[in-house]
Structure formats: structure tokens, C-alpha cells
Amino acid sequence: MLVVAIGGTLRAGSSTEAAMRCVLAQVQARGATTRLFSGEQLNLPLYAPDCVSDDPRVTDLVSAMRAADAFLLGSPGYHGGVSGLVKNAIDYAEALARDPAPYFAGKPVGCIASGAGWQGCNVTLQALRSITHALRGWPTPLGIAFNSATRPFDADGACLIPELDRQFSIMAAEITGFGDRSAA
């Protein structure tokens, strides 16, 4: 099983990226392979429907999305929604529109949102779940929104909040459990 994660920011030490890494570590512990597209890997040309970029980073992202059995999407809450950086990367899923199973069809998608306050992260989580539906994916029952102002990670990216860490484990189980069933 391949789980492709897309999200984070261009800032080193992003709490969104740290959260995604925590989930991916749990996914790997359950036997899945993972790919993370974060930071500079998301610094892509703006998506344009009539002129898809041949940038190698775009080609790599689209190939990984095409091969994925499941997804993990993560975004900070920027001004009431998903960051432009993350949304731009997700928009490249349009390259999968004519595939036999278009977009994220039938695949589990874990959604994580962070914000320097509860309002931003919750609104962003809802937006990620709506994007997942639009791409025909199945959002995991648990979506994770967390307040990054609480400093939930140490300098090495380890989660300092036991309940949040438990949510990462639950999400990993939902992604891999549903992914195993959908692959069958």
C-alpha cells in the first residue's frame, strides 16, 4: 500500500508537516510505503488547466498521486482556508481526471489542519474534507484539527500532546484499514 501525503508549508519546522510525519510513521509501522510532498516539493508552478507544467516536481507529484492507494492531506489555516501552496498542489490531481479511477476515487484520505487558533484549523479541516469529496475520495472518519499555538511538537517533531498523538495513530489505522479493504 502506498500512502501519498501532500501538505505543509515552505517554513522549516512546520507544525502541519510534523503532524503529517507522525501519521506517516504510524502508517509505515502498519506496513505501508509512504511519500511526502512538503516544503520545497510544493513550491510548484501555478496550476493552469490548459498548460500543465512539465516541471519534474509536478511530474513526480502526479506520478505519485496516480500510484497512490491512499492519501494524507495537511494544510495550515491561512486566512480562513487551505493555503494556496497546498491547494495548488492538490489541483494537479486534475491530471488524473481521465484515468480509469479518476482523481482520488474510492481511496481513503486523512485530513489534518493546523492553525494558530481553533477557528482557522477547524474551517481548514472542513475545506480539506470538502476537497476530498470533490476529488471522489473517502475522508477518514477522524479528521484532525489542532491549535499550533500550543506548540504541540518538540524540536525533533515528536508530538508532546498524548491525545493528539493518539489521534495520529487512529488516523493511520483508518487510512491503512480502509485502504486494505478498498484494494481488495
* Interatomic CA distance for residues 173 and 179, integer angstroms: 10
Alpha helices by DSSP H, listed for 36-108, are: 56-67, 84-91
Distances (CA, A) of 40 to 71, 100, 103, 171, 180: 19, 30, 23, 25, 31
3-state secondary structure of 92: helix
Q: How many domains does the chain have?
A: 1
CA-based nearest residue to 40, from 84, 8, 18: 8
Mean confidence (pLDDT) of the chain:
93
What CATH number did the domain enclosing 143 receive? 3.40.50.360
Cell of 150: 500550543
CA-based nearest residue to 171, from 48, 42, 73: 73
In one-letter notation, the amino acid at residue 16 is: T
* Interatomic CA distance for residues 133 and 39, integer angstroms: 25
Q: Tell me what the mean pLDDT of segment 9-13 comes to.
A: 85
- pLDDT of residue 184 exceeding 50, the answer is no
- pLDDT of residue 181 exceeding 70, the answer is no
Q: Which domain holds residue 124?
A: 2-183
Which residue, chain included where needed, has cell 481488495?
184
In one-letter notation, the amino acid at residue 121 is: C
Q: What are the pLDDT digits (tens) for 19-51?
A: 999 999 999 999 999 999 999 999 999 999 877
Rounded to two decimals, what is the model's pTM?
0.94
Strands 81-82, 108-115: pairing is: unpaired
Q: What are the pLDDT digits (tens) for 79-91?
A: 889 999 999 999 9
Q: Please, which residues have CB within 8 angstroms of residue 59's CB and are 6 or more apart in sequence?
A: none
* Interatomic CA distance for residues 93 and 104, integer angstroms: 8
